[in-house]
Amino acid sequence: MGTNVGLAPMVDSTISVITNDGRVIVGILRGYDQATNLILDECHERVYSSKTGVEQVVLGGLHIVRGDNIAVVGEVDDEIDQGLNLSATRAAPLSPVQH
Amino acid sequence: MLFYSYFKTLVGKQVTVELKNDLAITGTLHSVDQYLNIKLNNVHVVNEQKYPHMMSVRNCFIRGSVVRYVQLPPGSVDVELLHDATRREARG
Amino acid sequence: MLPLLLLKTAQKHPVLVELKNGETYNGHMVQCDSWMNVHLREVICTSKDGDRFWRIPETYIRGNTIKYLRVPDEVIDKVKEEDYKRDEKRPAMARGRGRGRGPGGRGDGQSGGRGGAPGRGGRGRG
Q: Do A18 and B21 touch (CB under 8 A)?
A: yes
Burial class (CB in 10 A: 0-12, 13-18, 19+), B83: exposed
DSSP state of A11: T
Contact A66 C68 (CB under 8 A): yes
pLDDT given for residue B92 in this prediction: 79
Task: Let me know: does B33 contact A83? Beta carbons within 8 Å.
Answer: no
Lowest mean pLDDT across A53-62, C47-56, C83-92, C111-120: C111-120
Buried b (16+ CB within 10 A) or exposed e, B25-62: bebebbbbbeebbbbbeebebeeeeebbbbbbbbbbbb
3 state SS for chain C: CCHHHHHHHCCCCEEEEEECCCCEEEEEEEEECCCCCEEEEEEEEECCCCCCEEEEEEEEECHHHEEEEEECCHHHHHHHHHHHHHHHHHHHHHHHHHHCHHHHHHHHHHCCHHHHHHHHHHHHHC
Q: Is B77 helix (H, G, I), strand (E, B) or coil?
A: coil
* Max Cα–Cα distance, chain B, nearest Å: 48
Q: Report the distance separating Cα B77 and Cα B45, nearest Å.
A: 23
* C82-99: average pLDDT: 65
Fold (topology level) of C11-71: SH3 type barrels. (2.30.30)
pLDDT at C112 over 70: no
Asked if the C-beta of A14 comes within 8 angstroms of chain B's C-beta atoms, the answer is no
Q: What is the pLDDT of residues C24-52, one digit of tens each?
A: 999 999 999 999 999 999 999 999 999 99
Helix axes C113-125, C101-110, angle to 10 degrees: 130
How many degrees, rounded to 5, is the angle at CA B29 between CA B25 and CA B32? Answer: 105
Q: Is residue B85 predicted with pLDDT exceeding 50? A: yes
Quick check: C106 pLDDT over 80?
no
Phi and psi angles of residue C62, each rounded to the nearest 5 degrees, phi first: -75, 135
DSSP 8-state symbol, B34: T
Residue C81's Cα: distance from chain center in Å?
A: 11
A88: which chain B residues are within 8 Å (Cβ-Cβ)?
Answer: none
Query: At residue C100, does pLDDT exceed 50?
Result: no
Nearest to C126 by CA among C83, C71, C72: C83
Q: Which domains does chain A have, with CATH numbers?
A: 8-88 (2.30.30.100)
Whether residue C104 has pLDDT greater than 80: no
Q: How confident is the model at residue C119 (pLDDT cuts 50, 70, 90)?
A: very low
- The ipTM value here is 0.93
Tell me the pLDDT band of C85, cut-offs 50, 70 and 90: confident
Give the Cα-Cα-Cα angle B32, A17, C77 (nearest 5 degrees). 100
Per-residue pLDDT of chain A (99 residues; tens, 9 = 90+): 444 558 999 999 999 999 999 999 999 999 999 999 999 999 999 999 999 999 999 998 899 999 999 999 999 999 999 999 999 999 999 999 999
CA distance C90 to chain A (A): 23
Sign of CA dihedral C56, C61, C65, C71: positive
Residue C72 above 70 pLDDT?
yes
Q: Give the start-to-end residue ranges of the domains of chain C.
A: 11-71
Per the CB < 8 A criterion, the answer to whether C71 and C7 are in contact is yes
pLDDT at B2: 92
pLDDT digits (tens, 9 = 90+) for B5-31: 999 999 999 999 999 999 999 999 999
- CA torsion C31-C37-C40-C46 (nearest 10°) is 160
Query: For residue B89, what is the DSSP state?
Result: H
Is C30 in contact with C41 (CB distance < 8 Å)?
Answer: yes
Contact with chain C for residue A63, Cβ under 8 A: yes
Which residues on chain A are in Cβ contact (under 8 Å) with B38?
5
Searching chain A, which residue's CA lies closest to the CA of residue B48?
A91
Burial class of residue A64 (count of CB atoms within 10 Å of its CB; 0-12, 13-18, 19+): buried
Q: Which fold would CATH assign to domain B2-91?
A: SH3 type barrels. (2.30.30)
**CA A79 distance to own-chain centroid:** 17
Measure the CA–CA gap between B41 and B46, rounded to whole angstroms: 15
Interface of A with B in 61-90 (CB under 8 A): 67-68, 70-78, 80-81, 84, 89
The pLDDT value given to residue C62: 98
Using a CB-CB cut-off of 8 Å, the residues of chain C touching A38 are: 3
Q: Contact A63/C73, CB-based, under 8 Å?
A: no
Cα distance between residue A23 and residue A44, in whole Å? 11
Report pLDDT digits (tens) over B37-74: 999 999 999 999 999 999 999 999 999 999 999 999 88
Residue A43 has a pLDDT of 96
pTM: 0.85
